[in-house]
Structure 1
Amino acid sequence: MTFRLALCFGLLSCSATTVAQVPEDIERITTTGSRISNSFNDSDIVISTVSQEQLKLTSPQHIQQVLNYIAGAGVQRGNGQEYLPALRSAVLTGAGACGGILAAEDNIPLRAAGFCNINELFEAHTEMAQRIEVLKGPASALYGSNAIHGVINVITPDTTRGNPQLLGYDYGSYGYNRLKLRHGKDWGDSGLGVNASITRDTGYRDDEGVDQEKVNVRYRYNTDDINIMTGLTYTNLEQETAGYITGFKAYESDALSQSNENPDAFRKASALRLWSRVQWQMSDKLELSVTPYLRDQDMDFKMHFLPGTPLEQNAQKGLGLLSQARFTATDATYWDFGFDTEYTEGSLLQFQDGPTQGSPFLVETVPAGKHYDYDVDATLYAPYASFNWHTDTWHLQLSGRFEHMRYDYTNNMLSGRTREDGSECGKGGCRYSRPDSDTNSFSNFSPKALLSYQLNSETRLYSTVARGYRAPQATELYRLQRDQQIADLDSVTATNFEIGAQGQLDKLDYKISLYSLYKDDVIYRDSDFFNINNGETWSRGIEITLDFPLTAQLKLAFAGSHALHTYEHDQLLNTVNINGNDLDTAPATQFNTRLDYLISDKTQVNLEWQFVSEYFTDPENLHRYEGHSVFHLRSRHVLTPQITLYGQINNLLDENYAERADFSTFSGDRYFPARPRNFMISVEYQY
């Protein structure tokens, strides 16, 4: 508590600095492409957006539902609020997989660079967002480690400027209830607002359920000399988790789909983020944005997917600073530059209450007691710069970011591959290995070049070349197995080439992108259970986004991708060399098609078709999932100027399919089954 209060006062006091006058009647919008409000940045052309209108119509119970609207995003939903991410990639799994995509809310990364969590987007307030922005491929100089495949940024509404107040309620199948509130006051030179939701979901499967609370608070203060926006997000999740069901095509059985092989699994997590953004118009040529922030997070969860189902307790707290200055040198050129830094204190404890159930090998090699207990202090600093030249038709952007990350790791147990008390395990030794206390540091440079050309008033062409990276995550360095005593890892790097076009052809709005992303030094666990850096993968594909009004009442929207994701390194798995194989869980074709029918100016009906092609579920390409097509029906009706009704039927045709399919050498084919046909009705009152 002392840590929180000290940082809160520190942040607010360092924000209260005299700045030049900023017009108060301008709605200031900060996007993923820039930290300077309402600023031009050509990287915006490659940002995809889920609008507030789409969010309201979908009323997402899970962020995966709306990320389906982004071409190239293939997020797979788990149970409750869990998921596995994919963005121009196969579905990312493993200890450091979450480091492939940077997740943020209001431009603040949800987690520190070395402490990501594969499910971290449940800490963003998607349910009440203003929009979601997705930047694909190695990101701009504003984002460093963890942005190899892109950025998913949830933007919450500015509740301080007299926006419509909102009270809403959602009621759905299987005990789903959600209360939503948005309220604010605008006093001209200041404002205060809150954006909150409370969710209760007893779930379809046995012994599952979600209790979740989220709140955003914003405070704005303006005088002739200052413009400050301060925000706070707090989220709390208590989830009873249903794990995989096992057996080939088990999802086709209603009884198996409803069952829960892990009735004791759970996840409890809370997260607090506080930030304060200050913007100076220091002169006609220089503008500056500075954002100090803090995080305080902790999580307990039962690792139902591991032998012995141990409990993990992890926590992190820290503070950081984001900055951006824009210097306009001439009418045709400007510079962006800045310095980002953060300091994080993290900890992890994994322990098992009782003996492992299963084969004699598992019983002996996965002992009860503590498996890991360590602390990691991490320091990051990153200067960056970007040069921009633009005319009426051309825009050139050359940018680079240098980033240095240092880990100070302290092992709080006996080092090595032993039980907690130091005794040896039989049958070759204990599964878990703890390295000696140590320090590790990583330095990386990420360049990017973007060139765009305005072909005519309706068409823009662009091309980018970028190199991205991610430092190894703390869990990859210090959560070792078997004989490995040290993880000698380098940063994962990715080189991306992309060309594209966006514009309008008659009534058709379109965006087309072709990309090739090659990843080197990919971290994976080899046949000896060593974390090593020898992996190489290649992802290449085409993405198409279309919006086409067929008539005055009918509109068609399409977002789809066709891509190949392959292993490009030699690795023997069960006598199979996977070089050239498809990455597991990498469907070649995915698309989302929505047909909107505007019955009247008050009534709208939307039919959605989500398609996922078949994919392999193991690196050897010996097992596969057949893919699926799913339809959803949604509607909106404006009852009065203040009251709007929404309704939806998900999985309209009541298909039996898997949200996620996987293959494990321990359990064979396993799945997260989708919910059968279900409904939700919503009422929204604006005042």
Structure 2
Amino acid sequence: MKTLAFFVGILCAFTSYSRAQTIELQGKVIDKLTMEPIAGASIKVNNLNIGKSDASGSYKVSVLRTDTLYVSYAGFQTCCYQPNIDDNVIALEQEIQTLKEIVVTAGRVAESRRESPVAISTIGTLILKEAKANSIDQVLNKASGVFMVNLGNEQHQMSIRQPMTTKSLFLYLEDGIPVRTTGLYNHNALIEMNMAAMKQIEVIRGPASAMYGAEAIGGAVNVITLSAPAQATGQISIQANTNGYKRTDIQYGDSFGRAGVLVSGYYADKNGGRLQHSDFSKAALSVKSNYNFNAGTRMVNGISYNNYYSDMFGALDSSHYAGRNFSSLNNFTFRKVKALRIKSQLDHRWNDFAETKASLVYRDNRIDQNPAYKIKNDYRRVAGTYQGNPFKAHGEISTSQFNTFALFLQHDQKLEKLGSKISAGANLDFSPSKYQADYISIDKDEAGYFTGYSKSDSALSSYSTAITNLASYLSYNQKIWRGLKLVAAIRYDYYHYNYQNKLSGTAFSGAPNTKNNFQSFTPKLGLTYNYQNVGFYTNFSQGFVPPQISELYQGVKVPYLSPQKFYNYELGGWLELYKGKIFADWSLYSMKGTDEIISVLADDGTSKNENAGKTSHLGFEYGLNYRPSAELKLRLSAANSRHTFIQFVEKGLNYNGNVMAGAPGFLANGEISYRPAFLKDLRTSVEWQHQSSYWLDNINSKKYGGFNVYNVRGAYQFKQFEVWLNILNAADTYYSVAASKSASGYSYNLGQPRTFNTGISYQLSKK
């Protein structure tokens, strides 16, 4: 009995000791960089799953004090964590350029980059944070095959698998929702983004119409915004540069119970600088909130407002460019933009295999402008002789505005036994719009400068158009074999334009009241194959663009056009070597455009728009990241391409076989980053931006030589402060960011001179 009592006592003591060593650990898993909660993070002990973080990032697990927790989530580095009752926030660090990266744009849902059979580039949170960009091109141009043309004051053109152009061949999205409605494309749409609210930018290169609809031809640019942090955190920063630019950013967010909110905004202005009449100002504010009803249901609401004004300098002519004469020909052209977007999204997770999303969207958008590119001299050459008043010119003042009421639905269903996934969605977009353009008479002096203008009662255009878009899409992913996956998608779009002309049939906008319908089926088919750290993909995708309102009705008497169509064939791949020290990706594509809208010269000497153009686009895009040590990182993003006319006779000029204007054959962006071990809070980098020569016109009569520009960046962080100095165009290269030739002569959009940009930020956080 004594022996039995002894062993029972030992057992009880051991049990009591074990219980004393077991603790209930609860806390949150967050993104170390953004402080956002991470939902679905896996928590393991000894390779056994013991829990997951919920929608708010919270977790609760029973562990021993001596246990080591391994916390992981796709796209983040696995964290080893020792239980600590006093500090139970687990912060995960993002992966940088690896096959484990998570992307959401390719298939409208979060998935591994290696599972997406498309060419997709990611500008991550760390890049955005460290670049301290004062315009989006300074980060977007780091992606392979992307060249965003900086026209000054956040105005821009784009080149992704297309020449540098203002055409409606690119789709701009915010959190997967188009920023503007189809048919009212604006090449300056990224003006309407709040840079202070950006978390990540994803770029699909090539047609993405099967998932996102019209205009996603050269590519789709999706800006993913920051969400509420898991705990109170905020930041304020100020910066200025030697080109007259000043900016203040403010951000603050917190979570409390089931809810969270984040406020992000900035105010920027520019006064002076090298170019005369080039000032601007912009105020941007975003508020994003979330509420978790329960573990499976979540609502996210967001509102974004941008108020923008810019003087419109325009481009330099050849004499001003050669003589470095930066005086403006006028002091009255301008662009004003007011853009409001409101979104409310409800997500419901039925179980581990099914999720439904519903989004209500409202847009209110207005652009007022007196555009420099609309100014035309009255004195000009006609039939071999000069006619008109040499001291007069003309232009226009216009207002374009639209509202949107839209509903977006999507359901995702995993079929685990079949190894497949289905995504189905639909959307309804109703966007009434108005356009008004009034004639102005402009005075001109003997030196060729426009001294002022007077507005007449003559309206060039005055109309309204109600645009309705009904769409549905279906995407199917199927695992065929180990590492091999099939991805197929199809989308149907129906557009209805209801055009009402307020002017007579003899006016410039002279199309009669008209109703036009357009519809399109756009498929996509792809395969991915992954083996360990090597992957390949191939795909076929199609894109389409219905006629823009301006193409269909302005200056047109018989409004009839068909959608433009593009067919893309692609092969690509990626690999990791030496435990992630080397990461490379590449894509080879061939895209053909048909039924492209061009201006055709009729027998009576007038011009009209027709679907009569065909083009060819061939290219090889590639990126390389090399991290030889924790201190040093090297990156190269580049593309070789050729854009040519197959069938293109415009206004009597035959361009068949010619290379398209504004199409550099080689684009590259390289960067060396260095973080010395002896001063870990210091970071430095040198960036190289290269653009090769290209034709200035479609007839291929003259080339522009391209440029090389170098940017140097450095920053130092101490405690909660960070200071930085960016030297843009460090070699002070004199260059044109985009040049062209037209009937009126040569035009050069000037690149910025050597610019010193400095700033300081303060981080507010509980930790």
Structure 1 vs Structure 2 CA RMSD: 2.3
Correspondence for 1:265: 333
From 349, 353, 359, the counterpart of 1:291? 359
For the Cα contact (< 8 Å) 2:438–2:456, is it kept in 1?
no
Q: Give the counterpart of 1:381 among 466, 470, 475.
A: 470
One-letter amino acid of the counterpart of residue 226, structure 1 = T
| Separation in 2, partners of 1:460, 1:163 | 41
Residue identity in the other structure for 1:588: G
* Worse overlay, 468-477 or 563-572: 563-572
Q: Distance in 1 between matches of 2:691 and 2:509?
A: 39
Distance 1:627 1:300, change over 3 A: same
Q: 1:526 aligns with which of 581, 588, 600?
A: 600
- The answer (yes or no) to whether the contact 2:337–2:368 under 8 Å persists in 1 is yes
Which residue does the alignment assign to 1:665?
A: 743
Question: Per-residue deviation at 1:285?
Answer: 3.5
Q: Distance in 1 between matches of 2:482 and 2:271?
A: 56
Could you say which residue in structure 2 is the equivalent of 1:10? none
Report sequence identity in percent.
26
Distance 1:399 1:36 in 2: 14
CA contact (8 A) 1:522 1:534 kept: yes
Query: What is the one-letter code of the residue matched to 2:288?
Result: R
Measure the CA separation in 2 of the matches of 1:566 and 1:270: 37
Task: After TM superposition, give the deviation of residue 79 of structure 1 in Å.
Answer: 2.9
**Residues 335 and 358 of structure 1, relative CA distance in 2, 3 Å threshold:** farther
Which of 555, 559, 565 is residue 633 of structure 2 equivalent to? 555
Distance in 1 of aligned mates of 2:456 and 2:561 = 28
Question: Cα deviations across residues 458-503 of structure 1 (Å, max 9, x unaligned)?
Answer: 11100010111111111111112xxx41232100100000100112
Partner amino acid, structure 1, of 2:684: V
| Residue segments in structure 2 that go unaligned for 5+ positions in a row | 1-52, 59-72, 75-101, 377-393, 447-454
- Where in structure 2 are the equivalents of 1:202-213 lying within 5 Å? 202-204=271-273, 205-213=275-283
1:487 aligns with 2:564: no
- The reply on whether 1:627 has 2:699 as its aligned counterpart is no
Q: In the TM superposition, what whole-angstrom CA distance separates every residue of 1:187-243 from its partner, at most 9, and x where no partner exists?
A: 030011101111011142112211101111011111226310111111010111211
The answer on whether the counterparts of 2:599 and 2:650 sit within 8 Å (CA) in structure 1 is no
Question: Partner residue of 1:165?
Answer: 234
| Deviation of 1:302 (Å) | 1.0
Aligned to 1:464: 539
Q: Please identify which structure carries the higher strand content.
A: 2
Aligned residues of 2:395 and 2:442 also touching (Cα < 8 A): no
SS at the partner of 2:159?
A: coil
Alpha-carbon separation, structure 2, partners of 1:41 and 1:434: 52
Moved more, 292-301 or 498-507: 498-507
Aligned equivalent of 2:206: 137
Deviations 1:273-332 (Å, cap 9, x if unpaired)? 011111111244321111111100101011211222211100000111122111222330
Instruction: Work out which structure has the larger RCO, using CA pairs closer than 8 Å and 6 or more positions apart in sequence.
Output: 1
Matched to 1:560, the amino acid is: A
Q: How does 1:189-268 map to 2 (within 5 A)?
A: 189-204=258-273, 205-224=275-294, 226-247=297-318, 250-254=320-324, 256=325, 258-268=326-336
The separation in 2 between residues aligned to 1:42 and 1:433, in whole angstroms, is: 48
Corresponding residue for residue 3 of structure 2: none
- 1:450 and 2:526 are equivalent in the alignment: yes
Paired with 1:543 and 1:36, the residues of 2 have a C-alpha distance of: 25
In the alignment, is residue 50 of structure 1 matched against residue 123 of structure 2? yes
Helix, strand or coil for the counterpart of 2:697? Answer: coil
> Which residue identity is paired with 2:548?
Q
In the other structure, the counterpart of 1:107 is 176
Q: Conserved in 2, the CA contact under 8 Å of 1:61 and 1:127? A: no
Instruction: Note the alpha carbon deviations across 1:111-165, whole angstroms, 9 max, x for none.
Output: 0011111101110123441111101111163200111122111112113533741
- 3-state DSSP of counterpart to 1:443: strand
1:81 CA displacement: 2.1
Which of 485, 500, 504 is equivalent to 1:410? 500
Q: Quick one: distance in 1 between partners of 2:514 and 2:547?
A: 15
Partner Cα separation in structure 1 for residue 236 and residue 683 of structure 2: 21
- Please name the residue that 2:91 is paired with: none
Instruction: State the distance in 2 between where 1:521 and 1:203 align.
Output: 45
CA contact under 8 A between 2:661 and 2:697: conserved in structure 1? yes
- Residue 322 of structure 1 is aligned with which of 408, 415, 424? 408
Residue 435 (structure 1) aligns with: 511
Letter in 2 for 1:387: Y
Equivalent-residue separation in structure 1 for 2:235 and 2:624 (angstroms): 31
Counterparts of 2:113 and 2:537, CA distance in 1: 16
Distance change in 2, residues 1:357/1:411 (3 Å):
farther
Matches within 5 A, 1:63-142: 63-93=136-166, 97=167, 99-139=168-208, 141-142=210-211
Alignment pair present for 1:183 and 2:257: no
Instruction: Name the residue aligned to 2:450.
Output: none
Aligned partners of 1:106 and 1:154 also within 8 Å: yes
Match of 2:439 among 352, 360, 382: 352
SS of residue matched to 2:471: strand
Give the whole-Å Cα distance in 2 for the aligned partners of 1:586 and 1:40: 29
State yes or no: 1:303 paired with 2:371. yes
The one-letter code matched in structure 2 to 1:222 is N
Q: Is the 8 Å Cα contact of residues 196 and 264 (structure 2) preserved in structure 1?
A: no
Structure 2 letter corresponding to 1:310: E
CA contact (8 A) 2:209 2:215 kept: no
Residue 401 (str. 1) matches residue 401 (str. 2): no
The 2-side partners of 1:36 and 1:58 are apart by 27
Judged with a 3 Å threshold, the aligned counterparts in structure 2 of structure 1 residues 638 and 84 are, in CA distance, closer, same or farther, namely: same
What TM-score does the superposition give when structure 2 sets the normalisation length?
A: 0.79
Q: Secondary structure at the match of 1:526?
A: strand
Matched with 1:680 is 757
CA 1:368–1:676 in structure 2 vs 1: closer, same or farther (change >3 Å)?
farther
CA-CA distance at 1:171 after TM superposition: 1.4
1:522 is displaced (CA, Å) by 0.7
Contact 1:48/1:70 (8 A) holds in 2: yes
- The answer for the alignment partner of 1:24 in structure 2 is 56
Distance, in Å, in 2 between the alignment partners of 1:78 and 1:368 is: 32
Give the whole-Å Cα distance in 2 for the aligned partners of 1:553 and 1:487: 61
1:467-616 aligned within 5 A:
467-480=542-555, 484-506=556-578, 507-527=581-601, 528-571=606-649, 577-599=654-676, 600-616=679-695
Q: Distance in 2 between matches of 1:163 and 1:502?
A: 39
Whether the 8 Å contact between 1:160 and 1:220 is mirrored in structure 2 is no
CA contact (8 A) 2:209 2:543 kept: no
Q: Could you tell me whether the CA contact under 8 Å between 2:259 and 2:289 is conserved in 1? A: yes
Q: Secondary structure at the match of 2:664?
A: coil
C-alpha contact 1:294 1:320 (8 A) present in aligned 2: yes
Q: Contact (CA 8 Å) 1:251, 1:657: kept in 2 or not?
A: no
C-alpha distance in structure 2 between counterparts of 1:596 and 1:48, whole Å? 19
Which AA in structure 1 matches 2:655? I
1:508/1:592 Cα in 2 relative to 1: closer, same or farther (>3 Å)? same
Q: Is the 8 A contact 1:57 1:635 kept in 2?
A: no
Q: Give the conservation status (yes or no) of the 8 Å contact 1:469–1:491.
A: yes
Q: What's the offset of the Cα at 1:71?
A: 1.1
Contact 2:116 2:528 in 1 (8 A): no
The answer on whether the counterparts of 2:462 and 2:509 sit within 8 Å (CA) in structure 1 is: no
Alpha carbons 1:243, 1:261 under 8 Å: kept: no
